Structure 1
Amino acid sequence: MKKDKAGCDGKTCLLCRLSLKEWAPAVALQRKNFILNKGETLFTEGDKVNGIYFIYEGRMKVHKHWGTEKELIVRFAQKGDIVGHRGMGGPEQLYPVSATALEQVKVCFIEMDFFQTSLKINHDLLYELMLFYAQELQSSEKHMRNLAHMSVKGRMANALILLRQKFGFNKDGFIDLPLSKQDFASYIGATYETTFRILNELIEERLVAVSGKHFTILNEAKLLRLTEIT
């Protein structure tokens, strides 16, 4: 991770957008900007919490250990998203997840003490963060429910729909997030072998299409039916 001399535009992240105008100079003074290369880790599960990160450019995966050697991807984050917030408020002040760059990523770092002070002063920021936590809690609960009760095929269909909703399609008609088969397996909580087999079934059924690391949806209505839990 290296320093980003160009910095950010002061408009993209939650902190910059929702802070009082009078607070902007303090934010500009406190923030630090960094660049990560693809595959570089921003923080690792179990590290001591030192602050909050806002993504200014690029995309990351947020993941955690699942069993002894497995990884579970909790979510994907992109421009404007916050990462590192899961370490707030815990008694041990340790990050419960890791964050790794999927491509070159630019982040804005804010130390925890200053961020907490910002929440006390900027009520719009505090309110928006509260809504964000509520939405993420709902998403996490659904994700765990799906792991317990939904078939792998259903989880795969659900994952593709969620990725399409978050990232949209690129100009070539694929979901705008290149993803390795291993990362896709980690996102749906399945082995690589099972993921490969089920994905081929969806391709044969003409519900999805795949080109390298690029996925697209051919029949979303049928994918939605696969996500129904009976």
Structure 2
Amino acid sequence: MKEEQAICYSCANENCFIKKHLHLEQMKQYVQKKHSFVCKKTQQFIIEGAPIQGLYFICKGKVKTVKTGINGREQIVRLTKNGDTIGFRGFGTSKRYLIGAYALEDTVLCNFSNETMMEILQNVPEFTYALMLFYADELNKSENNIRKIAHMNVRERVIDLLLYIHRKFGQMNGLIDIELSRKEIADFAGTTEEQVIRVLSSLKKESLIKTVGKRIGILAIPKLQSEIMEHKYF
């Protein structure tokens, strides 16, 4: 991975934890200690079970986080973009990462070491409080995802995923602004690649979505939402 200069004070990611707290005088000393680098598309920068090397913040790009499931299959647990935080699962309670992470496109990452993060948490209460709320929100999302797998059928899980990535990444030129393979969709929806292909084919025939290569565009958001309305998850 190649070193990259990413300056926090000129960062455009207003939702980044670091950026949000730059107005605090204490933060000046900590942002000088970070390391930034470029992670190429498909490159893994967090290995599940490896010693924790602090937290990562996405300056620019997209990342998928995965966890090993039954029979060694990787399950996608989160998709992230500019300003998002990665590597927080296990931080502070475990000495090893509980997830793995791959770049979905060339991505600029900012890393704050374990030591720097602990100093921030101990000395910047406003940051610590915000991170606590973030953890609570992530726990709620995780519990909802567990219920989805239990109560939604395959078609509903795929629709739920399409609506999620549409909300998360938006659409450009009629296509959702993230490229996911059919296998990656299956890994996130908790199903098989073959079932995903069948569901997407059915949704295309019903004129609810369109596809261009790996990219997918949603044509009828209200109709897709109505299909999973009873679950109240979209």
What TM-score do the two structures reach when normalised by structure 1?
0.92
Secondary structure at 1:86's aligned position in 2? Answer: coil
Structure 1 unaligned blocks of 5 or more: none
Give a deviation string over 1:141-186, Cα, whole Å, max 9, x none. 111111111001001111111111111111x111111111111111
Task: Specify the alignment match of 1:154 in structure 2.
Answer: 156
Report the Cα distance in structure 2 between the residues aligned to 1:156 and 1:17, rounded to whole angstroms.
34
Specify the alignment match of 1:18 in structure 2: 21
Of 78, 81, 84, which aligns to 1:78? 81
Cα pair 1:153 1:226 within 8 Å, conserved:
no
1:19 is displaced (CA, Å) by 4.3
Q: Could you tell me which residue of structure 1 aligns to residue 133 of structure 2? A: 131
Q: Secondary structure at the match of 1:55?
A: strand
Judge conservation of contact 2:21–2:27 (CA < 8 Å) in 1: no
SS at match of 1:88: coil
Question: Pick from 19, 44, 49: which aligns with 1:46?
Answer: 49
1:103 corresponds to which residue? 105
**Percent of aligned positions that are identical:** 33
Q: Structure 2 stretches of 5 or more lacking a match?
A: none
Q: Following the alignment from structure 2 to structure 1, what is the Cα–Cα distance between the partners of residues 21 and 28?
A: 14
CA distance in 1, matches of 2:25, 2:8: 17
Q: What's the Cα RMSD here?
A: 1.7
Letter of the 1:86 partner, please give it.
Answer: R
Query: One-letter code of the match for 2:209?
Result: V
Change (3 A) 1:120 1:19: farther
Letter aligned with residue 173 of structure 1: G
Aligned length: 227
CA contact (8 A) 1:16 1:27 kept: no
Please, which moves more after superposition, 213-222 or 48-57? Answer: 213-222
Q: Distance in 1 between matches of 2:133 and 2:121?
A: 13
Query: Equivalent residue for 1:178?
Result: 179
Could you tell me how far apart the structure 1 residues matched to 2:222 and 2:100 are? 34
Matched, 1:216 2:222: no
